[in-house]
Structure 1
Amino acid sequence: MTSEKRPWTALYPNGLDPEPAVPFVSLVDAWRARVDANPDGKAIAYFDGVLTARETDELSDALAVALAARGVQRGDRVGIYLQNIPQYALTLLALWKLGAAALVLNPMYRRAELRRLVDDAEIVGIVCADTAVAETADTVRDSSVRWILSTSDLDFQTRDDARVFPSTDRAVAAPDGDLVELIEQHRGRRPPHVEITGDDVALLAYTSGTTGPPKGAMNTHANVLAVATTFGSFVGLAAGDAVFAVAPLFHITGAVINATLALVHDTALVFANRFNAEVALEALVEHGVTFTIGSITVFNALYETPGAEARHFASIKTLYSGGAPIPPATVEKFEAKFGKYIHNAYGMTETSSGVIAVPPGRRAPVDPASGTLAIGVPLPLLDARVVDADGADVEPGKQGELELSGPQVISGYWRNPEASAATLPDGRLRTGDGAIIDRHGWVYLVDRLKDQINVSGYKVWPREVEDALYEHPAVHEAAVVGQPDDYQGESVVAYVSLERDAHATERELVDFVRDRLAAYKRPRRVHIVENLPKTQTGKIRRSDLRDRTIPTPTA
């Protein structure tokens, strides 16, 4: 496609190919090429434990043999129900070597919410923590699950940090076996060769269900490879780098831009279990982390951790935040404290994670009309446009719906042709996100279209109001929603949490934004709360706030 159609290529890092060839058919091919190139390079780090690429390949081979003995075949789905630990990566590789797909499961899910995904995906087995065996077995009883393997978070390290491991007592393994013991039993053996195509599903990742029941996005080997290839080259990932898996691997960002990105490049994948800010800061230093991507909640937590200093980020080349655009004020205060700029990135489960990002070394501009910080520019191979309600292109700088297409975009949802046809007409992803693309190719995410607030016929985008609130030094997090109003149709209402030891009143915050926003955009009420409701990946749940019953605004 010409530069006229993709003006953003002029903003790419020097030497970046806007039309790169993806050199491998499958993730297994990419992994094996990485092992062959540097078998003794560090592949996995977990506290004081380290595995080389050769060792990781050997262990995942053994696990693949064990899974094949349990009947796992090409096309099967297997659930991974774990925190961010080395066994996650080993299980991914083992499944891919067999041509099977990993159903990534949030370890916080319980009973009905877990069973719903298990049944929809019809998984044949599940790998869970040894502490979760009893409840998992009860949850999946009489389902398609034929076996349960368990594993301990304590394996592959000896430090036993009490901040992460409250107990060093090991739970009883699942009756079908302990994952590490099975690996040892089959060590030295290789699984049978399976011919894998780019169309084989690598990851089955379910959407969060914000627009209806969760849907299983079929992220194929080709989809995931396209993202791992383009994002890796875009951020300048180099041999010997270290990628910190701070995003949960049950989420598409963690599974692809943390785990897979590191595995298919000659880089170390650093694990630290479930996120703990103190432990994360130490891991950055100990393992010389050069790249990570996490939610803004993670960066806020790091910022607030006592003792956090610029030295903790000395090895970092690039930091990225995904999940939600970062308020400009948050970026500025983080950089002032640590000397590192947080780059925005954007992706969806349906795009196999990150496909739009701020180029390294560049600073995201702010849209003068909305005050929104750009989420970046489309990565190589991606076509992005903004369309109106009829699907026609809108002019640069005008608002509409963001539509994406390219090899990163899934072909459809698992056994859900109706949803596939509605969201992916002709292979083009209708994201549901309100956006602007300026004449240079910068993309500004205004908001989910359904989050738009209608005040007396005027349209208000929540993020513009939130960004104004973030400029107040006492504001830690902010969320803005529309609430029914008999007079205006909807009124703007804000929920705010404050920085530690900071103080502000609701009236003070209302007055603060008065000079920053048009009258119809100003919040009629500001509610100060201890914490804002969030998803497991750190996104603020505006829907929870929208449904709250509050007094009718009077001022």
Structure 2
Amino acid sequence: MGVDVVKPWFKHYPEQVSPTMEYDKRPLHEYLEESASRFPDKIAVHFMGTELSFQEVYDSARKFASYLQSLGLEKDDRVAIMLPNTPQAVIAYYGALLGGATVVQTNPLYTERELEYQMKDSGAKFIVCLDILLPRTTTVKPETDIEHIIVTGIKDYLPFPKNLIYPFIQKREYNMVVKPEHSGDTHVWTKVMDDSTTDYTPVEIDPVEDLALLQYTGGTTGYPKGVMLTHYNLVSNTQMCSNWLYKTEYAKESILGILPFFHVYGMTTVMNLSIMMAQKMILIPKFDVDTVLKTIQKERPTMFPGAPTIYIGLLNHPKLNKYDLSSVEACISGSAPLPSEVQQRFEKVTGGRLVEGYGLTETSPVTHANLVWENRRSGTIGIPWPDTDSKIVNAETMEEMPVGEVGEIAVKGPQVMKGYWNREEDTAKTLKDGWLLTGDMGKMDEDGYFYVVDRKKDMIIAGGFNIYPREVEEVLYEHEAIQEAVVAGVPDPYRGETVKAYIVLKDGYDVSEKELNTFCRENLAAFKVPRMYEFRTELPKTAVGKILRRKLVDEEREKLN
């Protein structure tokens, strides 16, 4: 599956990382069986004081597979999982795969409308959800193909006395306590685990052709699309990840699981990597800065995949210096551009390495990253991973652009999706001769390092000038008062669009629009300087911490109507 010609980025590969690899053509769930066989008593999951061994996770996954099959699960049926990072999320995922199903990862924050759309589109017959989400799930069920709901709760895996206290916390936070009954088409997780055997019926899987996952895109361009990812897509990307992190040791690391598993980035770089490499995953179901800092100090994770907003949140905690974060050795940041100031500060605090990577739902997800322990270049997404080819193209003609010129980033490799679920036309627009058009505008320098200039659809055209929001945001992040910043193009009667900056200030800082304007004019061409500033206490984000620029643009357009 190797890249057939010498590429400029190969010269940067350390000797421990080969430009081409042999990837296992095995079902993804076999790695859980293998880790349980080799390390049955080793801790696989740490969750708020509870620990499960690899054997316990594997046995529970087999029970879940057996139970689904007893309800009529057949090969390729879709099983939706609508859970935060909990032991159940891992068990249900691998249990569904053991039973021959295709997993549909579902965001627990979805509204009824969003949930109904995804269930209808995917044709899921089973859904696993939290107890507090049961009313929402029950409401949409009659409009979908869902036949069975499996209900679980955070408290199901909490140790004593947390399991007794949690219902009171739940009532305070969500103003509800749901006590589902195990009857009819509603199935209670604890009852499923108590009553099921591990005797499921193995299903023959073709790793290259059979789907492991339907992962829905964020829907920034119309309705969300189901990305079809095969077992081979996910296995190859996870093996690439392990190869890239060559200094990490098999069965000796622990990975902090803040990134949600219902997002493909967390699913690959935390859950699947941990299972494949027999590492311990430390699960945190909801991002809370205090909880994260205490967990790092106590549990000593060595790896910490994240997003810039997560690292920013930690770095701006007023008591950061009271915590020991020195266990952290390697972090790959994704989902959004990583400001160089954040990278430098985080490395100083932890003593570990934090590098920017890049990927898409359609690529399982990682395609590029900076080298973790060798020279890297701030402001770049790094170089393509093993067996991953990439180029900058004119999206209309697919003609390759000269070095240094901006075009659309295209990628090719074993991690690239099979296509979009039931959307042949969209698939044909995105996949061309084996190349996936990412929708991101970028450039490549003469050394083979890639730069994301911006999303094609986020480019601002003001007065005839092309303005890339990321460039403006990088300047804003250099200002000492700014904690978070996002730039968007908003309608303007004269320029067509104009640049607006949305700002979150650090605690204890104050800055005026005039001061920011002066600062930007010192660092940007006049036409790129924001004409409008809006100060906020927080910015809208996805579950993985990616700032929703499009939502801010939509808000501006609504104001005009």
- TM interval, short-chain normalised: over 0.9
Amino acid paired to 1:357? A
Percentage of identical aligned residues: 31
Determine if the alignment matches structure 1 residue 250 to structure 2 residue 262. yes
- Mapping of residues 499-510 of structure 1, within 5 Å: 499-510=506-517
Size of the aligned set, in residue pairs, is 544
Whether the 8 Å contact between 2:484 and 2:503 is mirrored in structure 1 is yes
5 Å-filtered alignment, 1:502-541, equals 502-541=509-548
| 1:110–1:192 distance in 2 versus 1, CA, 3 Å | same
Give 1:34's aligned residue. Answer: 35
- Decide whether the 8 Å contact of 1:101 with 1:201 is kept in 2: yes
User: CA offsets per residue over residues 527-553 of structure 1, 9 Å max, x none?
Assistant: 222222222222112222223449x9x
Q: Find out whether 1:284 has 2:292 as its counterpart.
A: no
Contact 2:148–2:187 (Cα < 8 Å) also in 1? no
Deviates most, 312-321 or 413-422: 312-321
* CA distance in 2: counterparts of 1:489 and 1:153, whole angstroms: 49
Q: Tell me the amino acid that sits aligned with residue 199 of structure 2.
A: R
Query: Which of 229, 240, 243 is residue 219 of structure 1 equivalent to?
Result: 229
Structure 2 length normalisation: TM-score?
0.92
Structure 2 residue 92 is matched with structure 1 residue 80 = no
Distance across 2 between alignment mates of 1:97 and 1:439:
46
How far off its partner does 1:431 sit? Answer: 0.5
SS in 1 for 2:425: helix
- Spell out, residue by residue over 1:242-280, the C-alpha distance to the aligned partner (whole angstroms, 9 max, x if none): 111111111111122111111111101211212222112
What residue in structure 2 maps to residue 362 of structure 1?
374
Give the Cα–Cα distance (whole angstroms) in 1 for the partners of residues 500 and 194 of structure 2.
57
1:181-220 paired onto structure 2 within 5 Å: 181-187=191-197, 189-198=198-207, 199-220=209-230
Q: Is the counterpart of residue 379 in structure 1 residue 385 in structure 2? A: yes
Per the alignment, do residues 40 and 7 of structure 1 end up closer, same or farther by CA in structure 2, a change over 3 Å counting?
A: farther
Q: Which among 259, 279, 282 is matched to residue 267 of structure 1? A: 279
Rounded to whole Å, the distance in 2 between the matches of 1:134 and 1:487 is 49
CA contact (8 A) 1:24 1:30 kept: no
Answer yes or no: is 1:324 the counterpart of 2:331: no
- How big is each residue's C-alpha offset from its partner over 1:97-148, in whole Å with a ceiling of 9 and x where there is no partner? 1110111110011211100000110111111112222221112124211111
Indicate conservation of the 8 Å contact 1:399/1:434, yes or no. Answer: yes
Deviation, structure 1 residue 30: 2.5
Query: In structure 2, what is the Cα distance between the partners aligned to 1:274 and 1:161?
Result: 17
SS at match of 2:94: helix
Distance (Å, rounded) in 2 between the aligned partners of 1:407 and 1:436: 23
What is the aligned counterpart of 2:439 among 432, 452, 467?
Answer: 432
Inter-partner Cα distance in structure 2 for 1:251 and 1:409:
16
Contact 2:40 2:54 in 1 (8 A): yes
The answer to whether residue 399 in structure 2 is matched with residue 392 in structure 1 is yes
Structure 2: stretches of 5+ with no match in the other structure: 172-176
Q: Find the counterpart in structure 2 of residue 461 from structure 1.
A: 468
3-state SS of the aligned residue for 2:498? strand
Map 1:111-122; keep pairs closer than 5 Å: 111-122=112-123
Structure 1 segments, 4+ long, off by >6 Å, are: 161-165
Q: Let me know the Cα RMSD of the aligned residues.
A: 2.2
Report what 2:64 is aligned to: 63
Distance change >3 Å, CA 12–CA 106, structure 1 → 2: same
Q: 1:163 to 1:274 in 2, by over 3 A?
A: farther
Residue type at the aligned position of 2:203 = V
Inter-partner Cα distance in structure 2 for 1:302 and 1:141: 43
Aligned to 1:370: none
Q: CA deviation at 1:231?
A: 0.7
Residues 277 and 305, structure 1, Cα contact 8 Å, conserved in 2: yes
Greater Cα offset, 101-110 or 478-487: 478-487
Comparing 170-179 with 254-263, which one deviates more in the overlay?
170-179
Cα deviation digits, residues 476-521 of structure 1 (max 9, x gap): 1111122333433332221211111111001100100111111221
Q: Where does structure 1 lack aligned partners over 5 or more consecutive residues?
A: 367-372
